[in-house]
Structure 1
C-alpha cells in the first residue's frame, strides 16, 4: 500500500487541490444544509431541532409542488428544444454551404453571442418584447391578423417566454460543444455513404447521430443540472403569482424573503436528491447501451 502511494504520489498531489476545494465548497456545505433542514432556523439565533417537520410540510405545500412541476416543464422542454436547436445550428455551421472560413467564423461568433449576455439584461429585454401592450411579439401577432396575447399575465402563456429565453440563452453553448464533435467525424464516412447512395438524412441518422452519442449524453447531463437550478429567467419573467416559479427560485424566496432557512435547506436537499436520481438513471441507461 505504501509502495503504491509512493509510486503514484505525483498524481495524487495534482488532484489534491480539487479534493480540498470539493471538501470545503461542496461536501461540507451539503452536510451543513442537511443539518439545517432538520431545524427551524430563521437565519439568526440558535437553530431549534424539529426533526423532519420541514419535509412533512413539503407534502402539503402547494407552492412547492407547483414549483416542482414548473421545473420539470423547463427541464423537459429544454432537453428537447435546446439540444435539437443546437444540433441543427451546429450541422449548418459544419455544412458545405459555408465554404468561406471568414463566413464560418462570423456565424460562429454571432451564434455564441447570446451566451455571453447577462441573463438579467436579456430577461428585461424579453419582458419588453412580450409586453401585452407595446411588445414587439404582439405587434407581429396583430400584423398577422391575430389578437394581442397576455404573455406575462396569463397562466396559460406565461411559461412560453421563459422557455424561449432558455432556448435562446443555452443553445449557443451546446452548439459549440456539438460542433466540436461534428468536426471530429471523419469525412471518409460521408464520402463512402455518398458512393453507396445514402442521402443526407440517412447520413445524419446513421453516421452523425451515432458518432455524437457520447457528446449528446454529456449535453443532456449538463443541461439537466442547468435546468434544475434555473433562477434568473423565471425570476425576471415571473408571470401571475407563482405560475412561473422554479424550484430553485422557491428555495431562494423561502430562505431570503420569508427567512425560513430550515425549509429552504430542506428544498435544497430534495433538489440535490432529484438531480442525483436523474443522473443515476441517465448513467444506467447509457451503461446498458454499452457506451460507458
Structure 2
C-alpha cells in the first residue's frame, strides 16, 4: 500500500474541521508522458475508479503513519556556455523591434519560482516549504525546473512580444519544454508552444527546434549574427507572440486574438522544462538559463 498511497503532511498553521471557517484542501494530479499509451488510455477511461478520495478525521487508535516523501535531488545541467549567444540573440531582436515600432523596447529575464540553495534544499514554490510557511504554492512542481514567468501586460496591435531561450530538450536537460501564454485576468492558459526531446513521444505544438535561426532569417538579421551565435543557434529558440502573425514567421509565432485575450486584459508567458532524462524531477533550476521576454516599453 505504501507504494500506491501518496501522503503529504498538513501543517500546524492550517484550520481543520467541517465548519465554514476551516481551510479547503485540493488534491491535483498532473499527468504527462506515459510510458505505455494503451495502459494510460485504460487508466483515464476509468479514472473515477482509480482515484479514491478519503474523508480524514482524527485517529483514536494506534497506527503507523506513512513516511513523508523525500524530494529527489535535481540534477545540474550547466548551460552557461550558451549565455553569451542568448544575450546576443536577444539584443539583435530587441534592436529590430525598436526600429520597426519606433518605440522604446526592454528585454527582461523571466523570473524563476524555485531555487536550489547551497545546502541542496529547494526554496520557493516547493510543497514542503509552502506547507511550513502557510503560503500559496500553486501546487508542487518537482517534475519541472518550476515556473519561469514573464509578465507582459497589454498586448497591442503591431507590438509583438518575442521570447528567447535555450531549448532544454536538445542538451538533455528536459524531456519536453513548454511555453504557455496566459490571460492574466484569471491566470489561465490560452495557447502554447511545446517541444519534446527526440527520445520521447508527444506534446509537440508549434516548433522550437530551429526557431532561433528561422526568426532571424525572417527578420533579415541572420547575417548580423556573430559566428559563435550562428554555431549555437540550433540550441536556442525564439517564439513570437502577436495579435497578427507575419506569414514569414510560419509556426514560430503564436497569434492571440481579442476573444482569447481582450485588449484590456494583461498577458503573461511561462516556460517549464519537464523531467531531466535519467531522473524523476526537473533539472537544477540554478543551472538552466532563464528565457528573455522582449517587448515595447511605453
Q: TM-score, normalised by structure 2?
A: 0.22
Query: 1 or 2, which has the higher helix percentage?
Result: 1
Greater C-alpha radius of gyration: 1
Query: 1 or 2, which has the higher strand percentage?
Result: 2
Q: TM-score, normalised by structure 1?
A: 0.22
